[in-house]
């Protein structure tokens, strides 16, 4: 199981690369479409683009359906009008536009369709009711829509030739009849023989549902992970497996992965414009995000307490060592005095009496401090044992002696600030430079998001106008912040008095 999760983690990191490959494929279709003069070829290319965009970017998929519709009027092939309606309904299902989807499906003429088209029609209708069942989350409606979905699934089943698709639909029917064990057997038989990637994705996903019905969470998560891996490899953004897996991991206490998987799912659902998936993930994310934030806060509190306790122990230990050295040196001086006073018997006897009292007093204090120091060392030892059981003490001490942690945290703070700010104001750098003459403009170095000057004015854009506050927040000196503000006001195209007002309006 862990190996599958690690493979999934890697796939999430490589998602931009998979999307890039998919966009190259899309561009090749678009280029071919722009160069062809054959209307039928253009129609089929638009169909390919509709399909390739369907689970990647629903709005673009809809765009190519409309291009198909325009070409259809030129081709004078009214018998394909039903295909356009079903295509639209399929996209509307993904976008969560269920009223529009139903209208498109009702505008078709099933009796005039070919067998393949009718199978497609029933499949989209089945998905329509399945989406509605998930979207409404009301028990009565859920049961009603699932039954309707199953009826259309029966129609699909009747039209399917023997093969993997036939067995997948049959497995769905078995699960609807509460026979998940039989469904698992059917699906695994297909999994052993079918090597088609897209078919295997469906097999994985239906298997995960079957194992969920059997309360086998380990097998369920395994097949959800396999489904999610293939979804990411194929640049699918409209999916259910990854968020389901994230929710299962949350229930098992794996907050880090649960948070990452749900965040990835949320981003993909948003980019695809899949309203249903976005709504599903939002329900999960509210719970998981709160738990994740609580966990991070607890980690911070624990780390802060550990640092404070460790610093106190170090200070206490140093104080004890200094005290011990002080008393040892004082004892040595006392011994030297005794040796010198031994030269004269009378003086020696007199000094011995005095020294005996002094020695008695100091040795008592010395022993008392030693015992106290030993006890403190013992307490410190016990604390170290406790700390060692909780964290890596050696690394903690290295961190305390070094400023590396502070510097790294400051750099991480800058990076996080820059990233967060540019998420809010992605055009800030260019907009800011439009307020300056071309020869006075400032840009970040390669590898940077913002430089020091831009960071100062980023804070001003956020409403921080006091130089002292900006300096404190960014860790700069007052003079540095003041100089940057003065220098850029003097360079401003529209005058220094309006410059910062213009920055705040960007």
Concatenated DSSP letters of 37-65: --HHHHHHHHHHHHHHHHTT-HHHHHHHH
Determine contact, residues 201/230, Cβ cutoff 8 Å.
yes
Determine contact, residues 72/43, Cβ cutoff 8 Å.
yes
CA distance 461 to 417: 13
Determine contact, residues 262/270, Cβ cutoff 8 Å.
no
What pLDDT is stored for residue 276 in this prediction?
78
Determine contact, residues 235/18, Cβ cutoff 8 Å.
yes
Tally the residues of the chain: 506
CB-side neighbour CA atoms (13 Å) of 215: 0
Per DSSP, the three-state class of 292 is: helix
Q: Which two tokens stand for residue 257?
A: 């992965």
Average pLDDT, the chain: 84
Give burial (CB, 10 Å; 0-12/13-18/19+) of 363.
middle
On whether the pTM is more than 0.85, the answer is: no
To the nearest whole percent, how much of the chain has pLDDT over 70? Answer: 84
Determine contact, residues 355/341, Cβ cutoff 8 Å.
yes
CA distance 6 to 230: 14
- Mean pLDDT in residue range 375-388: 52
Q: Give yes or no for residue 319 having a pLDDT over 90.
A: no
The position carrying tokens 């006073």 is 341
Among residues 49, 109, 60, 55, the alpha carbon closest in space to that of 85 is found at 109
- pLDDT tens digits for 81-92? 999 999 999 999
Q: Give the pLDDT band (50/70/90) at residue 366.
A: very low
Q: Give yes or no for residue 222 having a pLDDT over 60.
A: yes
Q: Which two tokens stand for residue 462?
A: 């956020």
Q: Give yes or no for residue 312 having a pLDDT over 90.
A: no
What pLDDT is stored for residue 110 in this prediction?
92
CA distance 503 to 506: 5
């Amino acid at each position: 199981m862990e190996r599958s999760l690690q493979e999934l983690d890697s796939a999430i990191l490589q998602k931009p690369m998979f999307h890039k490959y998919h966009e190259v494929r899309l561009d090749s279709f678009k280029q071919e479409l722009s160069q062809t003069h054959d209307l039928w070829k253009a129609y089929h290319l638009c169909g390919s683009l509709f399909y390739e965009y369907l689970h990647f970017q629903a709005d673009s998929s809809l765009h190519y359906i409309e291009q198909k519709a325009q070409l259809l009027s030129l081709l004078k092939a009214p018998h394909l009008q039903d295909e356009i309606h079903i295509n639209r309904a399929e996209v509307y299902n993904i976008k969560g536009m269920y009223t529009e989807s139903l209208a498109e499906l009702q505008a078709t003429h099933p009796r005039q369709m070919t067998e393949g088209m009718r199978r497609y029609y029933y499949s989209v209708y089945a998905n329509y009711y399945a989406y509605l069942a998930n979207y409404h989350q009301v028990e009565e409606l859920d049961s009603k829509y699932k039954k309707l979905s199953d009826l259309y699934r029966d129609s699909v089943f009747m039209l399917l030739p023997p093969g993997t698709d036939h067995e997948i639909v049959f497995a769905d029917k078995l699960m609807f009849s509460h026979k998940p064990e039989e469904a698992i057997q059917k699906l695994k038989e297909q999994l052993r023989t079918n090597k088609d990637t897209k078919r295997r994705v469906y097999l994985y996903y239906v298997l995960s549902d079957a194992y969920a019905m059997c309360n086998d969470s380990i097998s369920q998560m395994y097949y959800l992970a396999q489904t999610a891996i293939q979804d990411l490899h194929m640049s699918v953004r409209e999916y259910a497996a990854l968020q389901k897996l994230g929710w299962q991991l949350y229930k098992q206490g794996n907050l880090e992965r649960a948070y990452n998987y749900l965040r990835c799912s949320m981003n993909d659902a948003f980019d695809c414009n899949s309203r249903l998936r976005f709504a599903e993930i939002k329900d999960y994310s509210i719970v998981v995000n709160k738990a994740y934030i609580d966990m991070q806060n607890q980690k911070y509190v624990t780390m802060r307490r550990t640092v404070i306790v460790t610093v106190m122990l170090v200070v206490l230990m140093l104080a004890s060592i200094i005290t011990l050295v002080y008393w040892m040196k004082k004892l040595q001086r006392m011994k030297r005095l005794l040796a010198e006073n031994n030269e004269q018997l009378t003086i020696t006897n007199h000094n011995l009496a005095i020294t005996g009292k002094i020695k008695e007093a100091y040795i008592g204090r010395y022993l008392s401090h030693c015992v106290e120091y030993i006890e403190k060392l013992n307490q410190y030892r016990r604390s170290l044992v406790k700390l060692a059981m909780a964290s890596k003490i050696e690394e903690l001490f290295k961190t305390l002696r070094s400023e590396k942690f502070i510097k790294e945290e400051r750099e991480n703070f800058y990076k996080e600030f820059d990233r967060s700010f540019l998420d809010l104001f992605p055009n800030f750098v260019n907009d800011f430079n439009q307020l300056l003459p071309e020869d006075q403009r400032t840009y970040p170095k390669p590898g940077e998001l913002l430089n020091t000057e831009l960071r100062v004015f980023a804070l001003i854009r956020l409403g921080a106008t006091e130089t002292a506050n900006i300096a404190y927040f960014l860790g700069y000196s007052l003079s540095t912040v003041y100089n940057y503000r003065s220098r850029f006001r003097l360079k401003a195209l529209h005058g220094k008095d309006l410059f910062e007002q213009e920055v705040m309006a960007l």
